[in-house]
Amino acid sequence: MVAAICIICLVASILSIFLLLLGLFRPVWVLWFLDRSNRLKVIQFYGTSTFFFGGLYFLLKMLD
């Protein structure tokens, strides 16, 4: 069960990194649900999720 959650966190972290890099070029593509989209909001939204899922992945990897 921990291994499955670990894989999900790894995939979410990789997806967040990809969307972060994509959003640095075209913020509208990844922040389409907001009224205004700029690079700072991309970094705040996807940077936070990258650190959260990456940290959770490494924490679960230590427990496993």
Parse the chain into domains and list their residue ranges: 2-63
Report the share of the chain in percent with pLDDT over 90.
80
- In this model, does residue 10 exceed pLDDT 90? yes
> How far is Cα 21 from Cα 38, in angstroms, rounded to an integer?
13
Q: Answer whether residue 16 shows pLDDT above 90.
A: yes
Q: Quick one: average pLDDT of 13-20?
A: 96
